[in-house]
Amino acid sequence: MQAQSPLLPTAVGVGYKPKHFTAILADAAPVRWLEIHAENYMGDGGRPIAQLRHLAERLAISVHGVGLSIGGEGRLDPDHLARLRHLCDWLNPASFSEHLAWSTHDSHFYNDLLPLPYTAASLARVCDHIDEVQTVLRRRMLLENPSSYLAFAASTLSETDFLRAVTQRTGCGLLLDVNNVFVSATNLGYSATGYIDAIPLDQVGEIHLGGHDVDCDDHGAPLLIDSHGRAVVDPVWSLLDHTLAQSGPRPVLVEWDTDVPAWPVLMQEARRADRALGRLKVAA
């Protein structure tokens, strides 16, 4: 497998939004890397590709796929895999990641991250898909834990056992989204810190932070929606501290994908993440 070069810095990154292009070129600090959604850079040319080439000269780039449907029952779309390969080949990103979810069924793409039951059969399928991705892309990938709004009665494995098994069988790493952990734990009634303690943190190559919306289910229980449309809430910052205290420093990304704020607002979040990483260095 091809060595990943350059590596993602153990520092703060943000999800890249074109409206921040000029601000980033002027002064990105403390941000040292950017994450892009792979599918937005699959055109033939124009501004998106030109901006990406520009940014890649200055900052490390993480490519984050949102449409490969790794958790799907069907085979991976070979055309889409080829597009990802093309992007990773010319960009040589510091990281490639995708989701434990599905989005394509019978060749229809639903533009959302849909859930799967955790069973021996789905585990085998996900591992086959990750093997294929890592073979085609010739690099190790990171798999992101989902935000869950419901569970499958058919599941026989916990999500953390499922993810641990995936890393052991495929050699892939994990992208630990602590907001997703908080959302899923609240929605399904388990302990968020318990989830962190059960995940193989030594396999975590990146951490995500993001905002969520608050709704409720049919019984009036809180139902959190992973919207990426607002600031990170305090309990998620605490969960980040809890995670970093055990994992040690990791690349930490702030995601803000809808109602994208002005750069200074995003920077407040980035600086807070930077301080969380800074506290580790002081403690060490």
Partner 1 sequence: MTAQAAFHAALLDVACPVPEGLCDGSGRPAGRRYGVYRNNVAVSLRDALDTGFPATARLLGAENFAHVAGRFLRSAPPTTPVMMHYGTGFPAFLEGLAPLAHLPYLGDVARIELALRASYHAADSPVADATILQGLDETAFFEARLVLAPSVRLLRSPWPALAIWTYTLRPNSPKPLAGAQDTLILRPDFDPEPHLLPDGGFAFLEGLDRGHCLGAAMDQAGEGFDPGPTLGLLLAGGGISFIHPPKE
| Beta carbon nearer to partner 1, 72 or 205 | 72
214-243 residues in contact with partner 1 (CB under 8 A) are 215, 217-219, 221, 223, 225
Is residue 111 a contact point for partner 1 (CB under 8 A)? yes
Bridge-based pairing of strands 213-216 and 222-225 is: antiparallel
* Of positions 3, 5, 26, 150, contacts partner 1 by CB under 8 A: 150
Task: Give, as one character, the DSSP assignment of residue 219.
Answer: T
Q: How far is the CB of 161 from partner 1 (least distance, A)?
A: 17
* Of positions 26, 106, 264, 281, contacts partner 1 by CB under 8 A: 106
Query: What distances in angstroms separate CA 238 from CA 143, 170, 182, 193, 233, one per listed residue?
Result: 23, 31, 10, 10, 9
| Beta carbon nearer to partner 1, 219 or 281 | 219
* Of positions 3, 27, 57, 112, contacts partner 1 by CB under 8 A: 112
Is residue 104 a contact point for partner 1 (CB under 8 A)? yes
| Beta carbon nearer to partner 1, 198 or 201 | 198
| Segment holding 213, helix H or strand E | strand 213-216
Cα-Cα end-to-end distance for the chain: 33
Tokens of 89: 């080949």
88-96, 138-146, 149-157, 248-256 -> range binding partner 1 (CB under 8 A): 149-157
Is residue 149 a contact point for partner 1 (CB under 8 A)? yes
- Three-state SS at 140: coil
Backbone angles phi, psi at 175, to 5 degrees: -105, 110
Cα–Cα distance measured from residue 208 to residue 194, given in angstroms and rounded to the nearest whole number: 18
Cα–Cα distance measured from residue 127 to residue 129, given in angstroms and rounded to the nearest whole number: 5
Q: How far is the CB of 217 from partner 1 (least distance, A)?
A: 6
Residues near partner 1, by CB under 8 A? 39-40, 42-50, 66-69, 72-73, 77, 79-80, 83, 102-112, 114-117, 149-154, 187-190, 215, 217-219, 221, 223, 225
